[in-house]
């Protein structure tokens, strides 16, 4: 069974209903297998694992363990091959550094308001008495 780039791209989607059939297909494929392709960790295994791990929707579905074979394979790859997580950790660290830099820069007040040449009127709700 071929799990090509189109399949992997479909797993990267954020709509649960769109990725569910692909997760079910992967679960059925892994019924009697330890790996997706072959007898050891392949490039396809790595790509699919990284895609599932980095997609919050798919990752939460896998962690729920409703698809037993997929959850078993995901945990197996995670435990036996910890070096596969370096790509994910690198991406997560980059996101954290970017958020920290934005936080240190302070608040941004560029709201892109239109027609503000005449001034801006700000109204506040009255406070309760």
pLDDT tens profile 43-73: 999 999 989 998 888 988 888 888 999 999 9
Distance between CA atoms of residues 126 and 107, nearest Å: 25
Find the CATH number of the domain harbouring 68: 1.20.1050.10
Tell me how many degrees the CA angle 110-115-117 measures, rounded to the nearest 5: 90
Report pLDDT digits (tens) over 80-112.
988 888 877 887 788 888 888 877 776 666 666
Whether residue 19 is contained in a domain is answered as yes
> Residue 30: inside a domain, yes or no?
yes
In a domain, 111, yes or no: no
Q: The pTM is what?
A: 0.70
**95 in a structural domain:** yes
Number of independent structural domains in the chain? 1
């Amino acid at each position: 069974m071929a799990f090509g780039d189109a399949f992997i791209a479909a797993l990267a989607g954020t709509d649960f209903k769109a990725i569910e059939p692909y997760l079910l297909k992967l679960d059925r494929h892994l019924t009697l297998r330890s790996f997706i392709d072959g007898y050891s960790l392949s490039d396809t295994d790595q790509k699919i694992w990284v895609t599932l791990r980095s997609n919050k929707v798919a990752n939460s579905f896998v962690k729920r363990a409703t698809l037993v074979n997929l959850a078993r394979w995901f945990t197996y790859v995670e435990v036996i091959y910890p070096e596969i997580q370096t790509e994910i950790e690198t991406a997560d660290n980059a996101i954290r550094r970017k958020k920290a830099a934005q936080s240190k820069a302070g608040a941004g007040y560029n709201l892109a308001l239109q027609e503000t040449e005449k001034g801006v009127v700000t109204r506040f709700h009255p406070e309760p008495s």
